[in-house]
Amino acid sequence: MKLRDVVAGVEDAQIHGEASVPIEGIAYNSGQVERGAVFVAMRGQEADGHDYIEEAVQKGARAVVLEDEKRRVEGIPTVVVPNSRKALGTISTTFFGNPSAKMTLVGITGTNGKTTTAYLAESILGGAGFRTGVIGTIDYHFGGKARKATTTTPESYDLQKMLKEMLEDGVSHVIMEVSSHALHQHRTEGCHFDIGVFTNCTPDHLDYHKTMDHYFESKATLFTQVLRKSAKPGCLAIINLDDPKGRDLWKRSPLHKMSYGLRGKRHILATEIRASITGLSAVAITPHGEFPFHSPLLGEFNLYNILASAGIGLALKVDLEEVRDGIEALPGVPGRVEAIANDKGFHIFVDYAHTPDALERILKTLANLKGGGRIITVFGCGGDRDRGKRPLMGAIACRYSDLAVITSDNPRTEDPATIIEEIEGGMRSECSREMDRGQVAQGFAEKGYVKVVERREAIRLAANLAQAGDVILVAGKGHEDYQVIGRERFSFDDRHEIREALKAA
């Protein structure tokens, strides 16, 4: 493609130099530039792509897209744009032939529930005979192939390239988790959605967004801007009306809308709810009729995910029976209240809960289902992330646990002991009794907490302390198979560590 054609859809683009040069690729990282590519210089949190323009040119970049006209390189065709991130999305969409316009695209945003809703939707649509692809927090998969996810929603170039690959592989329906970061950074620019789903909005990522208002507004753009720009006719917003921010979004969104929830008048809701430590049963009421279902997923919060996925299926004209079958066919989601089988009589779960709301939801569920057993919670908080949630999560862990074991999550460049201290600040109001490892090893009869910096040792302590009927929750990392210490990743999987701990117990 010629440069002028590649940038034709970019708003307010100004081409300086030869506009007819052929473009053979796109790069937004100077280290990935190949000869004949256009290099898009973007400003990031830690680096500015404008500082790497000369390196990109030396590696063979044939043209440059940038925001700062003063950084132009003599003799290289340059496109000056107001926003390089938006431009990258538009350029990539054009370069890869606008793939999302040729398939059904569902976007799911919200603080919690995105992954489970995506997996449920995949199960429903796959069971109905559609070829599906999923882009999300755990991985990006389609056609029996999977790649580890580096971010929940990839950068726009990688996203459009992946959509193109999916289209060529015969994928007809793509379910995508859409993060607040991705929306704020215009990674979905050029995506033509058919459906947008809003799950909920509770505090998270405030290290990046700073305020809840900014965080919510970033998520809201999926409905107020992105879907409105979609070329698809009759775009639909599926919104959780039990969430206060969902009600706000309902009033503001000009799209066709479908509501879901457990209370009040909703298009899709659940009644006759029965919950146990082995799953959920309920009757779903929809505009197309009712159906009973049983799911091995736990907790009221998963009822919301089930109803949202049912809305996706019905909106895409899947029969009620196939919607039900898809819900019942999903055995679980990696790292999402994932049960760890054992022969010791324990109930052990690994969950990704890394926000106050998510941790409280899973612990309340387990507290209601535990029977006569005790709850032992192992958790920490990530380093270089929102510090405000640390004491909140500490208080929640103590409130619902018989023993809370505070440990490391992904400390990154922070001192794990400092993170633990900040978590501990919220625990004292709920369970003032701190115990050392020696005391805990003798057993515990009263609520309390213990600090164990090494996550592996924290998990082993929980396994050694548990008795038949007890519940162990290891929270925070879920599906992750690594731990970030400093700037390095080390192999670490909570599920593997639990199984090893059980062998040694």
Residue-by-residue DSSP string for 481-495: -EEEETTEEEE--HH
Quote the CATH superfamily of domain 99-329: Mur-like, catalytic domain (3.40.1190.10)
Q: Under a CB-based contact definition with an 8 Å cutoff, are residues 7 and 77 in contact?
A: no
CA distances from 447 to 345, 378, 440, 473 (A): 22, 14, 11, 16
Confidence at residue 198, expressed as pLDDT on a 0 to 100 scale: 98
> What are residue 397's phi and psi, to 5 degrees?
-60, -40
Q: Which CATH number fits domain 3-95: 3.40.1390.10, 3.40.50.2300, 3.40.630.10, 3.30.565.10?
A: 3.40.1390.10
In the chain, where the domains are located: 3-95, 99-329, 338-504
The reported pLDDT for the residue numbered 45 is 82
Helix pair 455-465, 494-504: axis angle to 10 deg: 50
14-16 and 25-27 strand pairing: unpaired
Exposed/middle/buried for 11, CB within 10 Å: 0-12, 13-18, 19+? Answer: exposed
pLDDT in single tens digits along all 505 residues of the chain:
999 999 999 999 999 999 999 999 999 999 999 999 999 999 988 899 999 999 999 999 999 999 999 999 989 999 999 999 999 999 999 999 999 999 999 999 999 999 999 999 999 999 999 999 999 999 999 999 999 999 999 999 999 999 999 999 999 999 999 999 999 999 999 999 999 999 999 988 888 888 989 999 999 999 999 999 999 999 999 999 999 999 999 999 989 999 999 999 999 999 999 999 889 999 999 999 999 999 999 999 999 999 999 999 999 999 999 999 999 999 999 999 999 999 999 999 999 999 999 999 999 999 998 888 999 999 999 999 999 999 999 999 999 999 999 999 999 999 999 999 999 999 988 877 899 988 888 888 888 999 999 999 999 999 999 999 999 999 999 999 999 999 999 999 999 999 999 999 8
In this structure, whether the domain defined by 338-504 belongs to CATH 3.40.710.10 is answered with no
- Determine contact, residues 340/501, Cβ cutoff 8 Å: no
| Sign for the pseudo-dihedral over CA of 326, 327, 329, 334 | positive
What pLDDT does residue 440 have? 87
What's the pLDDT score for residue 442? 80
pLDDT of residue 429: 82
The pTM for the full model equals 0.95
Task: Give the number of residues written for the chain.
Answer: 505
Confirm if 107 and 196 have CB atoms less than 8 A apart: yes
Residues with Cβ within 8 Å of 471's Cβ and at least 6 positions away in sequence, in order, are 346, 347, 348, 349, 366, 370, 373, 374, 375, 376
Instruction: Order across the sheet with 256-261: list the strands.
Output: 145-148, 139-142, 132-135, 173-177, 104-109, 195-198, 236-240, 256-261, 268-276, 279-286, 289-295
User: How is residue 330 written in tokens?
Assistant: 């999903």
pLDDT value at residue 113? 96
pLDDT at 322: 98
